[in-house]
Amino acid sequence: MKKKPFIHPYIPNSAPAIREAMLRRIGVRDVEALFVEIPERLRFRGTMKLPAPIVSEYELRRHVEQILGKNRTCREYLNFRGAGCWQHYVPAVVDEVVNRSEFLTAYCGASYSDLGKYQTRFEFYSQMGELLNMDVVTEPIYDWGTAAGYAIRMAARMTGRNEVLLPRVIDPERLSVIKNLCQPPTMASHIAVRHMDCDRQTGCLDLEDLKAKISSKTAAVYVENPSYLGLIEDQGDEIGNIAHEKGALFIVGVDPISLGVLKPPADYGADIACGDVQPLGTHMQCGGSLSGFMAFRDEEIYVAECPLMMYSIVETENEGEFAFAEVLAERTSYGLRDKGKDWVGTASGLWTIGAAVYLALMGPQGMREVGEVIIQKCHYAMHLLSELKGVKIVFSGSPFKEFVVNFDESGRSVSDINKALLEHGIFGGKDITQEFPAYGQSAMYCVTEIHTKEDIQRLVSALKEVLP
């Protein structure tokens, strides 16, 4: 049976004459002969019921763009949602570099052929190291939750203990990721998750509760700064001391864009810092730009227990010239399979390249200014909202870029308010009433450097109309 040739622009060897020449050289009559090892009972002999191919590029573009056109974007709408994926400005040069064919399409070529990739990565580690005041920064992983889960698992291995303390107020999605990594109680290597209360008033950690719950079983105390609900935790030194006194590690999840103005975790005793690279030069992409990072002190035990790959700068035979090579490759899951440290694999490399460019553009002044601008705008929005009737700011602590607003006295639900705001072209704050019922009808608003005074005032005016 002679099939009509299917000539596809992505497949150079589509043309029948080429295929025949190749088959002749191989010494078989047709392509079917190359599948001879697959027994008939395992062959799929039907035709997959898929839509007919859209082979013209123009029609394909029309088709996909028409579907995507149903999305509304944060360019058309004024967005106040954050909660783990934040709208920050992405400099044009960052886009230019991450979209370079070489970076976009490279994978894991060895040290020489993809040297530029490795140098850019090293510059990411080096700049993150300055931001975090830590000497070791690892390759990235999927997201903050996985980075935190890996840090907790490292702590469990390093201390030989099987309990971790987390704040009660934590992103439920991140918590679910962490809990999966900590395994259910029936598993032998289960790590028990215990929660520390937060002060109802300030939103910061309740140190007394931490003291009551920490024990000789505690592998690590994990906190976030700013906390999930946006507050700057200023008791880092005390938390670190309490953890260390009990022989536990102190792990801090941190928003890197805050570090131009906020003290880095290492300065208040953190042993491991982790978080998401996403604020540093990536578009939100519906959450497709998450990239977990991890950093720690330059001590052998941390490096040996860390599952993520690390690369060291190495001198070449030419004086003053550098290349980059993997550190302790053997210990990873590539080296030791199930006996390695957790696992490692393709994750989110491109975003570290974007972050390297972002930090180089921003420099120390840019990082300081962006932190200052964010915190001022955030407070401004908080001030204006607090003046609205029926609106209360839930915590007295200091926010960085997110704060929680309570609408109980307005008599309206967050869900209703957000629906109404949508009509005004606004994505209102994230509804947290299901996540934290104790805070009533509350929403978490996110304000960053991208919001102008007018944007914030527009939100206020809209809320005035929406609220009774």
Of 297, 288, 325, nearest to 309 by C-alpha is: 325
CB of 94 to another protein, least distance (A): 9
d(CA 101, CA 94) in angstroms, rounded, equals 14
- How near is the Cβ of 448 to another protein at its closest, in Å? 9
For residue 371, with 0-12 CB atoms within 10 Å meaning exposed, 13-18 middle and 19 or more buried, which class applies? buried
Which residue's CB is nearer to another protein, number 216 or number 254?
Answer: 254
Integer Cα distance of 362 and 358 in angstroms:
6
Give the nearest distance from C-beta 308 to another protein in angstroms.
11
d(CA 190, CA 376): 43
Compare residues 247 and 364 and give the one whose CB is closer to another protein.
Answer: 364
Nearer to another protein, 81 or 196 (CB): 81
Could you give the 3-state DSSP secondary structure of residue 260? Answer: coil
Question: Which residue, 103 or 197, has its beta carbon nearer to another protein?
Answer: 103
Q: Which tokens go with 163? A: 């309990």
Q: How many CA atoms lie within 13 A of 388 on its CB side?
A: 25
Contact indicator for 143, 292 with CB cutoff of 8 Å: yes
Nearest residue (CB) to another protein, 73 versus 468: 73
Interatomic CA distance for residues 17 and 315, integer angstroms:
51
- Compute the least distance from the CB of residue 365 to another protein, in Å: 7
Q: How far is the CB of 437 from another protein (least distance, A)?
A: 16
Cα separation, 356 vs 118, in Å, equals 12
The greatest distance separating any two alpha carbons of the chain, rounded to the nearest whole angstrom, comes to 83
| Signed CA dihedral, 169, 170, 176, 180: sign only | negative
Nearest to another protein of 126, 194 (CB atom): 126
Closest separation in Å from C-beta 424 to another protein: 13
**CA–CA separation, 309 vs 303, rounded Å?**
9
Cβ atoms 284, 87 nearer than 8 A: yes
Residues 6+ apart with CB under 8 A from 142: 290, 291, 292, 347, 348
Minimal distance in Å, beta carbon 303 to another protein? Answer: 7
20 or 409: CB nearest another protein: 20
Of 310 and 467, nearer to another protein (C-beta) is 310
In the complex, what is the shortest distance from the CB of residue 442 to another protein, in angstroms, rounded to a whole number? 15
Query: Tokens in use for 429?
Result: 């704050």
- In the complex, the smallest distance separating the C-beta of residue 191 from another protein, rounded to whole angstroms, is 10
Q: Please, which residue, 304 or 467, has the CB nearer to another protein?
A: 304
